[in-house]
Amino acid sequence: MRRMSTILPRLMLALVFMLLISPKRDGQDEQWCIADEQTPDSELQQATDWACGAGGANCTNIQVSQPCYYPNTVKDHASYAFNSYFQKYRSKGGSCYFKGAAMITELDPSYNSCRYDYTP
């Protein structure tokens, strides 16, 4: 009986841990759209300009003095812009393609005070 009494709390702890680290919400994997590191900066910049302009992404947070401005790299700004577009339009058929300049990740790219949107 003593052995059973030590197994049950360990089993419960393991179940709680698995629930806490589970990346799923309501049965769906969380997804963000980020820049593909192998894409040249010139292509990333073109795609970012489109996303922040005609694409309708909210690029306010990558402007100077905003929480996602640093690091001030084309790749980081592109990732934020691509994700903003993707989260806004994916339920309406929008993709994370950007002429091959972007890719899907299931790891939240947020850092410090820079929060990447996620829309279930």
Check residue 31 and give its pLDDT: 98
**Could you report the per-residue pLDDT of 25-48, keeping only the tens digit for each?**
454 689 999 999 999 999 999 999
DSSP code for 64: T
Residue 53 is encoded by which pair of tokens? Answer: 């302009």
Higher pLDDT, 7 or 39: 39
- The pTM of this model reads 0.77
**Could you report the per-residue pLDDT of 72-104, keeping only the tens digit for each?**
999 999 999 999 999 999 999 999 999 999 999
Check residue 92 and give its pLDDT: 95
- C-alpha R_g of the chain: 19
- Measured in residues, the chain has a length of 120
Contact 86, 33 (CB under 8 A): yes
